[in-house]
Each structure stands twice: as structure tokens, then as C-alpha cells.
Structure 1
Amino acid sequence: MSLLLFAIIGISQLLPGAVVPVDYSTFISQVNEGQLKEVKAYPNGSYMTLTGLSAQDDKETKTVMLTETYRTLVEGNNELAAKVTLREPMGTGGILAQIAPFFSMMLTVGLLFFFISFMRRSRDQTPKSAANFGKSKARLVNPENNHVDFSQVAGAEEEKFELMEVVDFLKEPGKYQKLGAKIPKGLLMVGYPGTGKTLLARAVAGEAGVPFYTISGSDFVEMFVGVGASRVRDLFEQAKRNAPCIIFLDEIDAVGRQRGTGFGGGHDEREQTLNQLLVEMDGFEENQGIVVMAATNRADVLDPALLRPGRFDRQIHIDLPDSRGREEILKIHTRNKPLGDDVNLSIIAKTTTGFSGAELENLANEAALLAARETNTYISMAHFEEARTKVQLGPEKKSRVQTEESKYLTAYHEAGHAIVARSLPTIDPVTEISIIPRGRAGGYTMHIPLEDTSYTSRTSLMDDLATLFGGRCAEKLILNDISTGAKSDIDRASMIARAMVKEYGMSDVIGNLSFGDSEEVFLGRDMGRQQPYSEAMGDLIDQEVKNLVDSAYNKAEEILRNEIDKLHLVAQSLLAKETLQAYEFEALFSEGKLPEGLSEVEARRANEKVLEEHGRRKRESLELLRKASN
């Protein structure tokens, strides 16, 4: 404040408008007594300002404003007239011109005061901000705020069994210490996105009743050097103070990728953060009560040092749920939703093969939204079926304008897919065909797997290829032309055929060899892209891929030529109805006509019967294939 006071005093001395004015009589007396050696008169409209120059120290003294003219002022006063010099007018500012110096002074003082306050505040806060920058961003969930336990996790029974050991250790560590057992320091959960890795970690903390620290791998790394390592140290210091507890590192591949690869070298900030994480996981003692859990869907790019015993001792692979698991997950996500009497969660589970837990949750929510949109008081089976199609393919676009030619082409394209699929024993049943656009597709033929399989045979892959080419073959046969509508089919077929040759060893010419591509630099592996085979082998691979594709195309063409009448029948029915359900397509294929007069419930039962019959027929066909091979 003393500095501010001195500044105000100094400014007041420099500003001419800050001099104390004198009255007119005193001013005239000073002129007559010779105290002022010069007087300047500044006319300003109806006012006039006089300024006198002191004879002793040359300081100016300003008077009050006068309501007199210059002529009236000097008339009869020769002493004053001799000393007064008439100046240019000061302007037309009036009173504003007089108070402007005051506001100028106040503005200067205000800016000075703001600058001093800002500097003082910055000085007080800068040390705290610098210290907080290196603090961990982990979010702490206390036991009383964690309401997740294993009862809210379904479809992962084996994984829960593995994790119960950790829960038991956190509750009763003495039982393990007596036997000299060491609980794993780290557990790495590996699985597809949406399989419940984060949910399982929270459930472990909820079951054990311990603090839960959660942070993403990307939260460690900043643009400033050393921040990531500092946050790792701070996280483990907090955990030690709150032991027993769980540290959960989500998407650990963001910070745990293999070192010494890609760009940046050994001085890369991410690598320094990883080094500190490795040191910290070695630093705390066994049975200290700190368990580190991490989740990733790219375990193949993690640094080997991170996966060695003593750090992440145990890997838990979380697979997509099977039919039973999907049903249990649906029960959890529909227990607070009013369901109609026709809803069968078992059937929904069987027709959602490949769905993760997150996708099933989204399915249940979409069904509820559809029911609410129709102002229904409950969710019906039809809502679940529409939600499933919407999740897989996107919303319907009935308002999109389509030409008759486009509808005609789409109808035969989709009918070609369906006819080829129905004629091959290993292909999953056709559950719906439509020429109504959904998402980016102009139409679709939907297949739903009836069983969960962990592998696929060569016969099944070749049938998949033939089914993909069913649409292109139908276009060529009926229209004697081809369109761009088969682009996605060709892309998928090329990918499958190349994988059969290069990865699965399914080429009779090349044999049981794998030619996997080199890893990309940004996935944490090789800097350059190199093919692990010669140019001649590359040509042979390309030829074998083409042979597989041509063989599948010829197979699809043969089927459609033999079933040309059914192709026309299905396509014309699509043009008339736009959408065919499973039982309608099966009736057209088997009986040559559409069923009539079925209610919604009867149609659903007919669909279920078609799926059951297809499953029986598929099992019989596969049994015949096995007998023929023997």
C-alpha cells in the first residue's frame, strides 16, 4: 500500500490539472504584485481559463473558470493587459475538458492497482499450480460411494471366480500370509470393448469394501516433461496411505506400449511414464494391500516388462458372453423396465450372438426408447426386434426417395443373397430381407447365428464367400449389368479370402503357412512395413486369393441359375412388401407362396419354428459332410 501511495503522490505532482486553483481576486493580486511574470488566457466558448507563470519557480497556477470575455478581462487593467497572452481556444469540451485530467489520473491509478494485485496473486498461486500439475488425476471412489458388486455383473462367471481371490485377500489377508501365499500385484483384464472390464474392477472394490482409484492411461501423459512420472509417483503415494485399496488403470496401452519403438526414442515422455510405473509396481511390498488392475483390448502391444511376474502377474481374458450369459445380462438391464407378456429374453439372447454387455445394455435402452416414442406403457418383443436391427444396421430411412430402377435392382440384389444363403448348409438362417434403406445400405439381408462358435471351418468360409457374391451374381443374371451396390460385399469377400490364404493356411497350393503383415509403428511395433515373403510368393498369394474368390462366385452363380424361379418370386415379393420376415421367405422358398392371415403372435411363432428347423437342417447337413469326408 505504501508503494501505491507514493505512486499516487508522484502522479499528482506530474499532472497539471492537479494544482490547487486560486480565486480570481487572488490571481489579480498576484499579477499586480509581480508574483506572476506571464499570464496565458485560454478562451473556451462562454468560459475562459487563465494560467499564470510564477516569477520565482516558473510553476503554473490555474484559476477557476471565468464567465468573462478577453476584452472585459483586460479593460482598465494595464498591468494585466501587459502580461496576458491570448492563446488558441482549448476546444469545445466544456466541463469535460476540465475533468478529463482527473479521470486520466484515476485510470492510471486503477491500472497500477490492478497490476500490483495481479502480480501479488500470481506470486501466491504459482507455486501451488506448479505443484498441482504433477499431482495424480486419479478419481477416488470411497467404499460408501461404490454401489457396484458382483450381483450387477453377468455373463462372466469364470472371470468373477478368478477375481474373488483378490476380494478374499483384501478382506482377510492373514489367511494367505499364514500359508506364505502372495496375492498377485497386478491383474490385467484383456477383452473386446464393452465386455465389462471397468465394471468388473469396480465390482471387485465394491465386494471388498476398499477405496478404488481409477485413472485412464492417457491422463498420465502431458506435453511437459516429467509430469507423467510425477503423477505415477503421486498415485502410488496416495494408494499407500489408503491401503488396502485398488488402483485401476483403464486403457493402459496408452502409456504401456512397447518401449524403443515408433517415434520419440528413449526420451519420449510416454516411455518415462512407463518406466516410473514399472519402478512403482516393483517398489511396494507383497501383501501390502495394494492391488493394481488394468484393462486393455490391445495386450499385444504392451511392453514385455509390464507383463512379467511381479508386475501384472495374472491376465484375465474376458470374452464376449455366450447365449446364457447374454440372457443374464439382459435380465440385469431390463429388471427396472416394464416388459410385455410376449417378451422372451432367451430368444433375444439367442438372436444377439456377438453382442457385448455394453451392446446388450444399449439394445434394452433402444427398445425402451421405441416403446416410449409410441407412448406404450410396456416394452414388447417387437420393440426388441426393431431395436436389434437398428443397433446392427442403423435406423430405417423410409423417407429416402428411390427410383423404380433402384428398387428393382435392390430387390434382386437382396434376393440373390437370400437364395444363395438358404441353399448352403453352413450359412446362418435368413431372418429378414428388406429393400428399405438403413444406415448407409440401400437394403439388407440379415443372418442371425443360432450358436456361439469359437472357430470356423474352410467349408463355412467358402459358403460365406458365395453368399456375399449372391447379390452381384443376381444383378448380372437379371439385369445383364453390375452396380456399385456390391462394394461392401466385395470388400468383405476379399478380406476373408486373403485371410484364408495368408493367415489360416487354407490354400492347397501354399499350404500351412502364415504370412502375417508387420505391425504398424503407431500400434507400438515396427517403424517400417515389410512383407515377410518374396515377390514370387506374393504373386502366388494374390493368385490363390483370386482362385478362392472366383470359385465362390461360380458357386453362387450356379445356385441362382438353378433357382431362377425362386429368385424372381422373392424379388417380386420384396417389391410388393418391401420387407420379408423369416417365415415369409421360407414359405416362398419352400412352397412358392406367401402365408396369409397370420397375427403378430402367430408370425413370431412361425419365425421361431423356421429358426428351429434351420438348426436341425444345418446339423444334418454337417453330419452328412463329416460322413462323406470319412
Structure 2
Amino acid sequence: MAKAVAGESNVPFFSISGSDFVEMFVGVGASRVRDLFKKAKESSPAIIFIDEIDAVGRMRGAGLGGGHDEREQTLNQLLVEMDGFEANQGVILMAATNRPDVLDPALLRPGRFDRQVIVDRPDLKGRTQILKVHAADKPIAKNVSLETIAKQTPGFTGADLANLLNEAALLAARKSKKTISNLDIENSIDRVLAGPEKKSQILTEEEKLIIAYHETGHALVGWALPNADPIHKVTIIPRGRALGYTQALPDSEKYLTSKAELKDRLAMLMGGRVAEELIFADPTTGASNDIEKATEIARRMVMEFGMSEKLGPMLYGKGTNEVFLGRDYGRQQDYSDEVASQLMKRLRAF
């Protein structure tokens, strides 16, 4: 996007990664910031693009770990160059990051990075257009529908879709085929989602039977419940870490999920474990990932989405915003032990 802006503007383009600023030697990062802006000013009008700016623009700590470390000095110099005392006319600064939540608030103030463009995962129309671009130089069979492929790949990024068609081309080439068929693309989707097929993994007949009943349990529950996504595919071919999987796909793009849909999703996740208990009366470890996903959904329903009737629409547990914990692992308990006990009861109930 930054290159496109520079190309349309017909001005010099300076690109650098955020990690290139940070060095073990004190003052090197700040010096590189000054040099970069100096070159841009000499060539103005110009565009500076900093990729992965969170490497240098991460939120500063309140004295933790030392307030004058190299990264913070570099960030301070960047802030000065952006709107300091010296005139900075004719230079536009652009940056990209996958973690806007960890950026220092000073970077996002008016006059700095106050205009934010969110490049989200493509929707159905976007995926179809991306597939057309990557399919233009590939021998796709005439009966292959790119729109159907787009419907089967919700959540895929542009890179994922490009990889999907490349994998399909490789699969077709291995079979000495002249065109890429629907089967090649189906196998490619499986490969991208779950990993390559493990032909060397030999399962016993008993294990195959258990896996078959397990996946059938997922499929039957998903088929029976009114708010579950339609079942698209069931397989017991080992891929990656999975011995088999059941894929359910929505009929259309969804941006909101109701409580009824989440409850049906929970039921479908536990369907494999229940099938093992009903048929064999001795559940296996095969449901560990299902239990992990179900627990996370139930936790969010109770603690974040306010879907528990007894506990009400409240948020339980807040992030500590400790930058040195990555803001992902720091979470404080802002409720009593009695409430914690109630939370666990409601979580188990779901």
C-alpha cells in the first residue's frame, strides 16, 4: 500500500523495518532515525515507510526494566522527528503493524499516526477477487468455481489463498495432470488447514474405528442442531497433528454470533467425546483439542460476553496492560473468590 502511494505520487520511497532501529549499542537506533529523516528531507517530497513498527514503538514501561533503554531512546527520537521543533514539511511517514494494541499512545496522537487504515482479512467478495488474480497464470479446470473456493475458505488471508493455489498446482503436477481440478483444490485446502497427509502414520483398525465414531459424533450433532454451521466435510485421514477432523462452514459471512449459535458450537465440539463414551464407554485423549476450544468458548461466554443469566452482563477479569508481560499474559482478578466459584459453575454449566 505504501509503495502504491509512493508510485502514484512519483516521489522517493524510503523503507525500513522497525527491528533495524534497535541495536545492542546505545544511541545507534536514535542515530538511524535521524539519518533516515535527514535523507528523506533532502529528497523531499518523500515517503518513509516503517514496517513492523511495534518492534520500536511498543508501549513504554513506567520505569520497569530501565526507563532509558535503547528502544525507548529510539522511540523518543522518532516522536521528535515526527512533530518536534524542526520543520518536517514534505515528508510523509507511514507504518504497518499486526499489533496496534501494544503501540505507545504517544505514537497515535493527532499529528502523528492519527489516520489508521485497517487491512482486515478479506470477505467473500475479496477472496474471490484475490483468487482470480492468483489463478490467472495457472491452468485451472473449466468446472472449477473460484467463488465456491472462496466460500470454503473463510478467514483466509491473501497469502493463504496464494499458498492454496500454489499447493493445488503442485498436487496436480505430481499426478502429471495438465489442469488443476476441484479435487486438487480440496486436498490443498485440507493441507493448508490441517497440514500434509501423513501416509506413514499407520493406525490400528481399533484406532480407525474410534476416530470414525468420534468424527461422526461431531457431524451428527452439527447436523441435528438448528444453529450450528452446515457440515462441509468429515475425514479420518491423519493430517498434521490431527487424526481426523470435521469441517463446518457458514452459508454466508458472519460478523456477529448469538448465544444460541455458541451453545450449538459447544455441543458440536463435545459431540466427538460423547460418541466415544456412548459407543466404547472409555473415552480417549482424542478430544483434548475439542475440550480446549470448548472451554475457551465457555469462558468467554461467561466472562466477556455476559451470556450467563445468573452472573449478568458483566466483564470479569481485566488485562493488566503490563507491557513487559506482552499484555497477553497479564490478567488481574477483579472479583472475589466467591464470584470466581460462581464463574466456574457457570462455565461448567455451559
Q: TM-score with structure 1 length normalisation?
A: 0.54
Q: Aligned partners of 2:43 and 2:316: how far apart in 1?
A: 50
Match of 1:533 among 335, 338, 344: 335
Instruction: Give the distance between the partners of 1:419 and 1:526, measured in 2 at CA.
Output: 36
For residue 425 of structure 1, the aligned residue among 223, 226, 230 is 226
Q: Which amino acid aligns with 2:131?
A: L
In 2, Cα distance between equivalents of 1:516 and 1:247 = 40
- The answer to whether the aligner puts 1:303 opposite 2:129 as a matched pair is no
Is 1:493 the counterpart of 2:303? The answer is no
Aligned AA for 1:399? S
Cα distance in 1 for partners of 2:48, 2:268 equals 48
Question: Matched residue of 1:385: which SS?
Answer: helix
Q: Cα distance 1:438–1:528, how it changes in 2: closer, same or farther (>3 A)?
A: closer
1:329 aligns with 2:139: no
State the match for 1:211 in structure 2.
12
Amino acid at match of 1:309: P
Q: Deviations over 1:150-182 (max 9, x none)?
A: xxxxxxxxxxxxxxxxxxxxxxxxxxxxxxxxx
Q: Contact 1:436 / 1:443 at 8 angstroms: preserved in 2?
A: yes
Give the superposition deviation at 1:520: 4.9
Call closer, same or farther: CA 1:427–1:313 in 2, change over 3 Å: same
- Matched residue type, 1:541: L
1:238-283 deviation per Cα after TM superposition (whole angstroms, max 9, x unaligned): 1111222211111111111111248423111111110000000014
- 1:525-556 per-position Cα deviation (integer Å, ceiling 9, x unaligned): 599653122222211111110111xxxxxxxx
Any residues of structure 2 matched to 1:200-349 within 5 Å, and which? 200-261=1-62, 263-283=64-84, 285=87, 288-349=89-150
Report the alpha carbon displacement of residue 443 of structure 1 after superposing the two structures with TM: 1.1
Offset at 1:510?
1.0
Residue-by-residue CA offset, 1:380-420 (whole Å, 9 max, x unaligned): 22211111111001111233111111011111101000000
Listed one character per residue, the Cα deviations across residues 284-317 of structure 1 (whole Å, up to 9, x for unaligned) are 646x331111111211111111100111120111
CA distance, structure 2, for counterparts of residue 237 and residue 347 of structure 1: 51
- Code of the residue aligned with 1:499 in structure 2: it is R
Matches within 5 A, 1:416-455: 416-455=217-256
Aligned residue for 1:358, secondary structure, equals: helix
Query: Partner of 2:67: helix, strand, or coil?
Result: helix
Q: Aligned partners of 1:326 and 1:213: how far apart in 2?
A: 30
SS at structure 1 position matched to 2:96 = strand
SS, match of residue 274 in structure 1: helix
Question: Which of these residues, 270, 292, 302, is aligned with residue 469 of structure 1?
Answer: 270
The SS at the match of 2:122 is coil
| Structure 2 residue corresponding to 1:392, chosen from 193, 197, 200 | 193
The 3 A distance-change label for structure 1 pair 513 and 204 is same
**Could you say which structure has the higher helix fraction?**
1
Structure 2 CA distance for aligned equivalents of residues 404 and 315 of structure 1: 55
Shift of 1:210: 2.1
1:511-550 → structure 2 map (5 Å cutoff): 511-518=312-319, 519-522=321-324, 529-548=331-350
* SS of residue matched to 2:117: strand
Tell me if the contact between 1:400 and 1:437 (Cα under 8 Å) persists in the aligned partners: yes
Of residues 304-313 and 520-529 in structure 1, the stretch that sits farther from structure 2 once superposed is 520-529
Distance 2:262 2:58 in 1: 34
Q: CA–CA distance in 1 between the matches of 2:126 and 2:329?
A: 41
Residue correspondences, number = 348
In the alignment, structure 1 residue 380 sits paired with structure 2 residue 192: no
Deviations 1:214-253 (A, max 9, x none): 1111111111111111111111111111222211111111
Does the C-alpha gap of structure 1 residues 526 and 477 become closer, same or farther in structure 2, counting only changes over 3 Å? Answer: closer
List runs of 5+ in structure 1 lacking aligned partners: 1-199, 549-630
SS in 2 for 1:475: helix
Distance in 2, Cα, partners of 1:262 & 1:386: 52
Q: Counterparts of 1:373 and 1:488 in 2: how far apart (Å)?
A: 33
Residue 61 of structure 2 contacts residue 323 of structure 2 at CA under 8 Å; is this kept in 1? no
Question: CA RMSD, aligned part only?
Answer: 1.8
Match of 1:458 in 2: 259
**Secondary structure at 1:360 match in 2:** helix
Letter aligned with residue 169 of structure 2: A
Following superposition, the deviation at residue 448 of structure 1 comes to 2.0
Contact 1:214 1:247 in 2 (8 A): yes
Structure 2 alignment gaps of length 5 or more: none
Which of 187, 199, 209 is the equivalent residue of 1:408? 209
Residue type of the partner of 2:344?
D
Larger radius of gyration: 1
Q: Identity rate of aligned residues, in percent?
A: 59
Three-state SS of the structure 2 residue aligned to 1:291 is strand
1:148-159 matched pairs, under 5 angstroms: none
Amino acid across the alignment from 1:503: E
